[in-house]
């Protein structure tokens, strides 16, 4: 299927394949079977381009958000509920957006709260918000070249830091005792002002994201540095909330999944 890059969509593709098999066994005529095959192929192409079929796995792939929109996003489905008292979140990100432009880099929202949002602010600082006021960091600027960016936070102490190219920022103490609430939605590309809505083009992400991984604990310095250099298990544990190689996601709008060349 050269013109139809289906990424192994789970629910939709399985459903279509199952019904296609039933039809094919009922009808023995070869040309009829061919027709079913073509219909099935067409349905698969359609489902990959217009629906929110869940796809699985982005190993060696990059998400490209080519335009500023208020509708393009990728929803990420976590492997476990995100009621969190600590985490490490890592991704590689590149953008051409001008320096003074706000950019949403990661948004996890429940019905009433921005649970875990990462921004580049208008003044260039990188910020981290959990349900209210944020923590702001002066980091090297995001550019057209990929930056490896991690964020760690631990509720017991409140210690939080960004890690750029494997190097840690100064710690800040942010919301000790806080718990991130479960049962929300993670979006890349857009900041929802309400759960599953209120998207604004002027805050959208334009650029590339790859290798996003998340753990429900704070990785050690050596693990974060190993991740930065592209190492995997056993030097870096697999993400137990998001593991890029096995990540479940739903792309909407103008988002491209391309080979990481």
Q: Which spans of this chain sit near Ca ion (rule: CB under 5 A)?
A: 191, 193, 200, 203
Provide the token pair at 16.
């279509």
Q: Which helix (H) or strand (E) holds 249?
A: strand 248-252
- Contacts of residue 165, defined as CB under 8 A and 6 or more positions apart, other chains included, come to 140, 147, 148, 228
Q: Which is nearer to Ca ion, 35 or 202 (CB)?
A: 202
Give the residue with the Cβ less far from Ca ion, 63 or 187: 187
Nearer to Ca ion, 129 or 163 (CB): 129
- The residue among 33 and 195 lying less far from Ca ion, judged by its C-beta, is 195
Looking at beta carbons only, is 123 or 193 nearer to Ca ion? Answer: 193
**Cα–Cα distance measured from residue 43 to residue 6, given in angstroms and rounded to the nearest whole number:** 11
CB 61 → Ca ion: shortest distance, Å? Answer: 27
> What is the closest distance, in whole angstroms, from the C-beta atom of residue 203 to Ca ion in the complex?
5
Structure tokens at 224: 């974060």
Find the shortest distance in angstroms from Cβ 192 to Ca ion. Answer: 7
| Dihedral over alpha carbons 159, 94, 138, 189 (to 10 degrees) | -60
Nearer to Ca ion, 47 or 72 (CB): 72
The minimum distance between CB 9 and Ca ion, in angstroms, equals 29
> Which residue has its beta carbon closest to Ca ion?
191
State how far the Cα of 13 lies from the Cα of 53, in Å rounded to an integer.
8
Distance CA 12, CA 129 (A): 35
User: From the CB of residue 220, how many other CB atoms can be counted at a distance below 10 Å?
Assistant: 12
Among residues 253, 207, 209, the alpha carbon closest in space to that of 70 is found at 253
CA distance 90 to 164: 10
Taking the complex as a whole, the smallest distance from the CB of residue 195 to Ca ion amounts, in Å, to: 13
């Amino acid at each position: 299927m050269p013109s139809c890059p289906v990424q192994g969509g789970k629910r939709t593709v399985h459903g279509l394949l199952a019904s296609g098999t039933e039809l094919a066994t009922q009808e023995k005529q070869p040309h009829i079977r061919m027709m079913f095959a073509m219909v099935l192929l067409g349905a698969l192409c359609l489902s990959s381009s217009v629906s929110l079929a869940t796809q699985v796995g982005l190993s060696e792939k990059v998400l490209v958000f080519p335009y500023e929109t208020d509708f393009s996003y990728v929803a990420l489905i976590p492997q476990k509920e995100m009621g969190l008292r600590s985490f490490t979140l890592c991704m590689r990100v590149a953008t051409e957006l001008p320096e003074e432009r706000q950019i949403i880099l990661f948004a996890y929202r429940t019905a009433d709260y921005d649970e875990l949002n990462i921004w580049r602010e208008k003044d260039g600082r990188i910020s981290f918000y959990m349900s209210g006021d944020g923590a702001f960091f002066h980091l090297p600027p995001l550019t057209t070249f990929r930056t490896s960016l991690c964020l760690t936070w631990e509720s017991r102490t409140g210690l939080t830091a960004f890690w750029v190219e494997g190097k840690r920022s100064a710690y800040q103490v942010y919301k000790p005792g806080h718990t991130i609430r479960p049962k929300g939605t993670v979006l890349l590309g857009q900041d929802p002002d309400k759960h599953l809505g209120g998207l604004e083009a002027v805050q959208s992400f334009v650029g590339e994201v790859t290798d996003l991984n998340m753990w429900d604990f704070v990785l050690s310095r050596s693990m974060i540095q190993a991740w930065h250099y592209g190492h995997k298990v056993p030097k870096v544990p697999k993400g137990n909330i998001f593991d890029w190689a096995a990540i479940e996601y739903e792309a909407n709008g103008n988002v491209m999944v391309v080979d990481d060349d």
